[in-house]
Amino acid sequence: MMNRLECLKILAEHVTDEIVAPTYSCATDWMAINDRPLNYYAFGAMGLASSHALGLALARPDKRVIVLDGDGSLLMNLGTLVTIGAVQPKNFVHFVGHNGSYEANGGAPLPNRSLDFAAFAETAGYKSAHTFTDIDDFAAKVGDLIKAEGPVFGNLVIEQGPLSNRDYSEMHSAKRREVFREALDSGA
Amino acid sequence: MDDQAKDQAAEQLSGGAIMDAMKEAGVEYVLSVPDLHTSYGLLMPIADDPDLKLIRTCKEDECIGISAGLSYGDKRAVVLIQYTGFLYAQNAIRAMAAEQQKPICLMIGLLGKPPGVLPKDAKRIGVRSVEPYLDFMGIPHALIETDADVHLIPPAIVDAYENQHPTAFLIGRRPVAP
C-alpha cells in the first residue's frame, strides 16, 4: 500500500504550469509539498472538487487541470464521474486517494472500503482509468499520465495518514482565491 | 408593444425569450438537471441551440461547482434547476454563492405553482420556501412569470458577473417552446 505524501511528492516533480485542485487531506499535504499560486482550494462544499475542476478545464482549455480528490469526497458526488465522462475534457486528470475512510473527518470508515473507483470512472466514460498500489509503478507512469488525453483517472490505493498540518481558514481565504485568479489571468 | 402583444406577454412565458435573454447577457453555458416545469419549453430548446452549451449533470450541486470553476475563466453560465434541486444544493449554494460571492446565476423552476400565484402563496411548502432561503443568503432574485418579466434577466446576469455576486430567477410558469 502506498503513502499519500510519497505519491504527492512524486507528482510534484512532474507538475509545472497545471492547475491543481486538491481537496481535504490531499489539499493539506499538497499545500505542504507544493504551495503555489495555481493551486485551487475554493470548493466550499465537500465532494465538489472535480465539479469545480471541470468548470476550470472548460474555461481554460489551454491549461491542464489535475484534481486531487479523496474517496470519501468522491462518494459524496459520484455522479461527477458520469458528467465528466459525458463532457470529455481532454485537459482533465483526476486522482483519488483511496484509503477507505473519511480521514479528514476523523478517520471513520467508508460504508464500503473495497470499491473499484477505476472501474466506476471507466464505465462513466473516462478516456483511461488506472489503479496504483505500488509506489514504483506510480512513479514510472505518473509523468505520462498527467500529459495523456483526458479525462484520465488514477485511483491511488493508500494507507491512512499521516495528516499534514491543516489551516482551512487560510486555505479557503479570499486572498488565496485572489492569488489564484491573478495567476490564471497573468498566463502563469 | 401593441395591445395584442401586451396581452400575449401578460399570459405566457416564452422559452425563446428566456434563451435570447441569456445570450444577451453573454451566457455561454447552461448547467442543468432536468425539471418537468422547464423541460419542454426551455431545456429541450437549449439542447438544440448551437449558441448555448448545455452540460447535463447528475445532481444540482455539481452545477454550482462547475459554474464557479467556469467563472475563473470568465465564462458565464446559468444553472437551470427545479426548486427541489435548489433545496438539495443548499450547502454548495451557501458556500459559493453566499459566502464566496461567486456569480452563480440560478434559474429555478417552481414546479406546481399555478400561473399568476405568488410563490409565497403557493400550496407547496417547497415552492414557498425558495424566496426565504434566497433572502436568508442575501441572493437577489426576480420572479419571471410572463414574457413581460424577461427583460429583468440580462442586466441581473451582467451585474452578477461584473460585480461578483450571485443572482436568481424564479420561473413562475411553464415556458412555451419557441
Using a CB–CB cut-off of 8 Å, the residues of A that contact B are 40, 42-45, 47-60, 77, 79-80, 82-83, 86-87, 174, 177, 180-181, 184
Q: Which amino acid is at B101?
A: Q
Q: What is the pLDDT of residue A42?
A: 81
Contact B92 A184 (CB under 8 A): no
Nearest CB neighbour to A184, from listed B63, B70, B72: B72
CB contact under 8 A, A82 and B58: yes
Return the residue matching grid coordinates 495518514.
A161
Q: Which residues contact B5 (CB under 8 A, 6 or more apart)?
A: none
Q: What is the pLDDT of residue A169?
A: 82
The Cα-based distances of A16 to A80, A146, A179, B138 in angstroms read 26, 11, 17, 39
pLDDT of residue B38: 96
Amino acid B5: pLDDT: 64
Residue whose grid cell is 412569470: B145
Q: What number of other Cβ atoms are within 10 A of residue B39's Cβ?
A: 18
Q: What is the mean pLDDT of residues B121-131?
A: 97
| First-to-last C-alpha distance (Å) of chain B | 19
Side-chain-side CA neighbours of A38 within 13 Å: the count stands at 20
Residue A1, Cβ neighbours under 10 Å: how many? 12
- Average pLDDT, integer, range B96-115: 97
Question: How far off is chain A from B1, nearest CA to CA, in Å?
Answer: 39
Best of A19, A40, A54, A66 to substitute, by most chain B Cβ atoms within 10 angstroms, is A54
Residue type, A103: E
Which residue, A25, A21, A61, is CA-closest to A40? Answer: A21
Alpha-carbon dihedral sign for residues B113, B63, A128, A33 = negative
User: Chain B window 61-120: which residues touch A at a Cβ cutoff of 8 Å?
Assistant: 61-75, 77, 91-92, 94-96, 99-100
Q: What confidence category does residue B4 fall into, taking pLDDT thresholds of 50, 70 and 90? A: low
Q: Which of residues 130-169 of B touch A (CB under 8 A)?
A: none
What is the residue-averaged pLDDT of chain B?
Answer: 95
What's the confidence (pLDDT) of residue B147? 97
Q: What is the pLDDT of residue A167?
A: 78
Q: Rounded CA gap, B164 and B149, in Å?
A: 23
Q: CA torsion B121→B124→B128→B133, rounded to 10°?
A: 180
Contact between chains at B95 and A44 (C-beta distance less than 8 A): yes
* Sequence-separated (6 or more) residues with CB below 8 Å from residue B152: B142, B144, B169
Q: Which residue in A79, A29, A137 sits closest to B59, CA to CA?
A: A79
pLDDT tens per residue across all 188 residues of chain A: 899 999 999 999 999 999 999 998 899 999 999 999 999 998 788 999 999 999 999 999 999 999 999 999 999 999 999 999 999 999 999 999 999 999 888 888 999 988 999 999 999 999 999 999 999 999 999 999 999 999 999 999 999 877 777 778 888 899 999 999 999 999 76
Helices of type H across A88-173: 117-124, 135-145, 168-171
Separation between Cα atoms, residue A32 and residue B84, nearest integer Å: 40
pLDDT exceeds 80 at position B39: yes
Burial of A177 (0-12, 13-18, 19+ CB in 10 A): middle
CB A93 within 8 A of CB A65: yes
Q: So what's the ipTM on this one?
A: 0.96
pLDDT of B150 above 70: yes
Question: Do A83 and B95 lie within an 8 Å CB cutoff?
Answer: no
pLDDT: which is higher, B1 or B115 = B115
- How far apart CA A85 and CA A68 sit, in angstroms, is 17
Residues of B in contact with A79 (CB under 8 A): 57-59, 62
Q: Is the pLDDT of residue B8 over 70?
A: no
pLDDT over 80 (residue B9): no
Q: How many interface pairs between A and B have CB atoms less than 8 angstroms apart?
A: 99
Q: How far is CA A143 from CA A12, A80, A147, B97, in A?
A: 10, 25, 7, 36
